[in-house]
Amino acid sequence: MNLDIAQTAKQTIAVEAKAIAALGNFIDADFEKVVELIYQSKGRLVVSGIGKSAIVAQKIVATLNSTGTPALFMHAADAIHGDLGMIQPEDIVLLISKSGESAEIKAIVPLIKSFNNILIGLVGNLKSYLASQCHHIINTTIDKEACPNNLAPTTSTTAQMVMGDALAVCLMELKGFKGDDFAKYHPGGNLGKRLYLRVSDIYPHNPSPKVLPTATLKEVILEITQKRLGVTAVVDADNTIKGIVTDGDLRRMLERSTNYDTITASDILTSNPKTIAPNSMAVDALDVFALHDISQLLVVENDTYLGVLHLHDLIKEGIM
């Protein structure tokens, strides 16, 4: 095999990177107008294409929907067999095509225009049929495909996706779309959990080990053992935190003491333990664990002990 694989890969990346950098020259008044029209629209953005452009269209639709801009995918081949019915009067239609000359595109353009919907072309050939028929153009012209035969859609589809991302991000900015909004549309998976999961969603599933300051050493050990969190809170009669006893505290006590009969929780507790409020974000708890190199946090509200959050809880939830 004479092929220099690494060199070919690097050349592919270089060709596509150059094309992407050049896209900045195509961000013009027409692009700005497209963003404003979609932002002000009371309908949805219907995105369509054929072949590889159809796959790009699906990705753009997914990005738009997840960032607060209602969008639908319509395959250009299916559009002429009934799917044009999904286009409503207030919708805007975005057609994606490198050549702008595909038979399916030519077939649906006049039909869409007869509906009086705004038609936008995301197109790589400004002299094409599609470019001549659209109300607005997003230019994705490239010099060449990364394919050695300059045939397979590579650079062109990358350019289409990048322009789709630029469109989505501009709309996010206009809408003031924030992390909390993102979490609403991404409740599943680790990313969503980092954005919405709070301490109060986790700690109630754990036992709440606690002893009084007067608890004997045996009572402390039994509480830690039975609740299986490696820790117990030390609280007074009204559940106010006095301190914490961990497995480590017990080991250190055993190293320095030989008279265990008189030891109580107040003798071995660590005062001013690290705590967290129940309404805190779970991801913020992770920062506290890392900062203090600890595995447990007492959940406290208004000085009242509520329970324990363990580092393993965050691991189990996929926060880490």
pLDDT of residue 172: 93
Q: Residue 98: what are its φ and ψ, rounded to 5°?
A: -70, -50
In a shared domain, residues 17 and 143: yes
In a shared domain, residues 239 and 311: yes
Q: From the CB of residue 120, how many other CB atoms can be counted at a distance below 10 Å?
A: 25
pLDDT at 186 over 70: no
In a shared domain, residues 213 and 160: no
CATH number, domain with residue 223: 3.10.580.10
pLDDT at 307 over 70: yes
Asked if the structure places residue 193 within a domain, the reply is no
Asked if the structure places residue 171 within a domain, the reply is yes
In a shared domain, residues 157 and 51: yes
Query: Looking at residues 124-128, what average pLDDT do you find?
Result: 97
Query: Looking at residues 35-46, what average pLDDT do you find?
Result: 96
d(CA 41, CA 23): 25
In a shared domain, residues 167 and 206: no
Asked if the structure places residue 183 within a domain, the reply is no
Tens digit of each residue's pLDDT (9 = 90 or more) over 157-174 = 999 999 999 999 999 999
Asked if the structure places residue 187 within a domain, the reply is no
d(CA 285, CA 314): 9
Q: What is the dihedral of CA 95, 101, 102, 103, to 10 degrees?
A: 110
In a shared domain, residues 172 and 246: no
In a shared domain, residues 47 and 171: yes
pLDDT at 291 over 70: yes
In a shared domain, residues 290 and 205: yes
Q: From the CB of residue 167, how many other CB atoms can be counted at a distance below 10 Å?
A: 23
Domain containing 43: what range? Answer: 5-177
Asked if the structure places residue 61 within a domain, the reply is yes
pLDDT of residue 157: 97
pLDDT of residue 259: 77
Q: How many domains, in total, are found in the chain?
A: 2
d(CA 257, CA 249): 12
**Is 309 within 8 Å of 202 (Cβ atoms)?**
yes
